[in-house]
Structure 1
Amino acid sequence: MARSADRLDPTDLLAVGDLLTDEERLIRDTVRRFTDERIRPHLADWFEQGTFPARELAPELGSLGVLGMHLDGYGCAGSTAVEYGVACMELEAADSGLRSFVSVQGSLAMRSVHAFGSEEQKQQWLPELAAGRAIGCFGLTEPDFGSDPANMRTRARRRGDDWVLNGSKMWITNGSIADLAVVWAQTDDGLRGFLVPKGTKGFTATDIHGKLSLRASVTSELAFDDVVLPADAVLPGARGLRGPLSSLGEARYGILWGTVGAARDCYTSALDYARTRIQFDRPIAGFQLTQEKLVEMVLELEKAYLVALRIGRLKDEGRALPAHISFGKLNNVRTALEIARSARTVLGANGITLAYPVLRHANNLESVLTYEGTSEIHTLVLGEAITGESAYR
Structure 2
Amino acid sequence: MPLDEGLTLELTETVRRVVEERLIPAEEQTVAEDKVPDEIRALLRDLGLFGISVPESYGGLGLPLEAETRLMFELCRASVAFRSILGTNNGIGSQGIVIDGTEAQKRHYLPRIASGELIASFCLTEPDSGSDAASLRSVARTDGDDFLISGTKRYITNAPEAGLFTVMARSEPDQPGAKGISAFLVEAETPGITVGPWDRKMGQRGAHTADITFDEVRVPATAIIGGPERRGQGFKTAMKVLDRGRVHLAAVCVGAAQRLLDEALSYAMDRRQFGQEIAQFQLIQAMLADSQAEIYAARCMTIDAARRIDAGEKIPMLASCCKMFASEMVGRVADRAVQIHGGAGYMADYPVERLYRDARLFRIYEGTTQIQQLVIARALISEASEAIGR
Give TM-score scaled by structure 1 length: 0.89
CA distance in 1 between counterparts of 2:346 and 2:16 reads 25
Once the two structures are TM-superposed, the CA of residue 87 in structure 1 deviates from its matched residue by 1.2
* Partner residue, 2:366: 372
Instruction: Letter of the 1:116 partner, please give it.
Output: D
Change (3 A) 1:24 1:298: farther
Once the two structures are TM-superposed, the CA of residue 346 in structure 1 deviates from its matched residue by 0.7
Q: Which moved more, 1:98-107 or 1:147-156?
A: 98-107
Preserved CA contact (<8 Å) 2:51 2:115: no
CA distance in 2 between counterparts of 1:243 and 1:105 reads 16
Instruction: Letter of the 1:230 partner, please give it.
Output: P
Instruction: Letter of the 1:192 partner, please give it.
Output: S
Preserved CA contact (<8 Å) 1:383 1:389: no
Indicate the SS of the match to 1:224.
strand
Of 88, 93, 115, 1:109 maps to 93
* Structure 1 position 185 matched with structure 2 position 175: no
Indicate the SS of the match to 1:207.
coil
* Partner residue, 2:125: 141
Once the two structures are TM-superposed, the CA of residue 148 in structure 1 deviates from its matched residue by 1.0
Pairing 1:156-195 to 2, within 5 Å after superposition: 156-188=140-172, 190-195=180-185
CA distance in 2 between counterparts of 1:213 and 1:367 reads 8
CA distance in 2 between counterparts of 1:245 and 1:377 reads 14
**Which of 1 and 2 has higher RCO (CA within 8 Å, sep 6+)?**
1
Instruction: Letter of the 2:371 partner, please give it.
Output: I
Q: Structure 1 runs of 4+ off > 6 angstroms?
A: none
Q: Which moved more, 1:132-141 or 1:373-382?
A: 132-141
CA distance in 1 between counterparts of 2:29 and 2:234 reads 42
* Structure 1 position 71 matched with structure 2 position 54: yes
* Percent identical residues: 32
* Partner residue, 2:388: none
Preserved CA contact (<8 Å) 2:249 2:323: yes
Instruction: Letter of the 1:330 partner, please give it.
Output: M
* Partner residue, 2:197: 207
CA distance in 1 between counterparts of 2:149 and 2:247 reads 31
Pairing 1:1-393 to 2, within 5 Å after superposition: 25-53=9-37, 56-72=39-55, 73-188=57-172, 190-236=180-226, 238=230, 239-388=233-382
CA distance in 1 between counterparts of 2:79 and 2:169 reads 31
Preserved CA contact (<8 Å) 1:141 1:170: yes
Once the two structures are TM-superposed, the CA of residue 161 in structure 1 deviates from its matched residue by 1.1
Indicate the SS of the match to 1:76.
coil
* Partner residue, 1:7: none
CA distance in 1 between counterparts of 2:42 and 2:96 reads 21
Preserved CA contact (<8 Å) 1:27 1:86: no
Q: Output one character per residue of 1:281-327: Cα deviation in whole Å (capped at 9) or x when no partner.
A: 21111111111111111111111111111112212222241111100
Unaligned runs of 5+ in 2: 385-390
Give TM-score scaled by structure 2 length: 0.89
